[in-house]
Amino acid sequence: GSHTRRMKKSASGRKTTRATTGTTRGSRFSSFAFFFFCLLSVSLFFVGVHFNCSTITSTTTMKVCVTGANGQTGSIVVRKLLERKSKGENLDVVAVVRSEASKQQLLKQLPDVAEEAMVKVDAFQKESLSETFKGCDKLVVLTSSKPKLQFSSLPGVLWQKFVMRKEGVKPTFYFPEGQEPKMVDYVGQRDQIDAAKQVGVKHVVLISSMAGTKPDHFLNTMGGGGIVLWKRKAEVHLIESGLDYTVIHPGGLLPHHGKKEPAEGGKRELLVSVDDKLLESETRVIPREDLAEVIVQSLTTKEAVNTSWDLTSKGEGEGEIFTTLSKLLKSASTLHCNFDTPELPTM
């Protein structure tokens, strides 16, 4: 009898031990599940912050390098980024220029730019670019060659146009030695892309131009430079580099060269397409202010990553005024240009 009682007691003890162990395991599992849920929530939060389409609110500062910062569009991009920073967004801006003259040009457009926000890279040497891009998360490439008017061609143009009544007569242009599209729009941009990859830049936004599918377009025949074709070759290099990229082909930029009337941003509907289809329409232009806003938003819009597209606008006051890039890109049927044609120039 006493033996039987001891067995029951022993069995009861084992049952109690098993129950206690089960409770402990359940408690540990609940703690682990709660910890995993918290970790997942935090991760998703930061992913969302990284690709926020309008603001940069992460506690980690995003550093943006802008080359061609002294240009008309480049200076607007720098201004917009600095405005966002002044409103509390976590970003640093580095305006990259290639000469002291370019630096003074930028200061003339943006007198309040701090000295430490500007970096001069003489002739955009690749080694110096790598040093400049260190620590940058994003790179905006706005460099471009610039054709110059051959003034000696003007009398002939006037004669043909007003005396002979010929239409479509255009003056002659040329590119200064060493500043040809091959050197600036391809070699120069290729070196920027390679330098960015070398130092770990995460995302490159390259601003090119429409007319890349049309070798006979006036932009490509100016000065015999093939300017947009060389730009297109740089685009292909970026796409094949393995870096995250955004390639934007804006239409004609407003205000047009020589025009003093400003072209305000935030007053037009913007249009996205590919392969120069918009060149066949009446909507072939876009204000620089709107282009700059699109560039800035592309830095934090997930839909813009690894895409290439054309960008123009409707007339002022027409359609639905542009607000967010994410919404605009979602409305597009495709965001990938066809680079199979035309045949691109070779070195």
Active site residue 209: yes
**Phi, psi (rounded to 5 degrees) for 223:** 60, 15
SS (H, E, C) the chain: CHHHHHHHHHHHHHHHHHHHHHHHHHHHHHHHHHHHHHHHHHHHHHHHHHCCCCCCCCCCCEEEEEECCCCHHHHHHHHHHHHHHHCCCCEEEEEEECCHHHHHHHHHHCCCCCHHHEEECHHHCHHHHHHHHCCCCEEEECCCCCCEECHHHHHHHHHHHHHCCCCCCCCCEECCCCCCHHHHHHHHHHHHHHHHHHCCCCEEEEECCCCCCCCCCHHHHHHHCCHHHHHHHHHHHHHCCCCEEEEEEECEEECCCCCCCCCCCCCCCEEEECCCHHHHCCCCEEEHHHHHHHHHHHCCCHHHCCEEEEEEECCCCCCCCCCCHHHHHHCCCCCCCCCCCCCCCCC
Distance between CA 107 and CA 105 in Å, rounded? Answer: 5
Active-site option among 75, 102, 130, 209: 209
Question: Which residues carry out catalysis?
Answer: 209
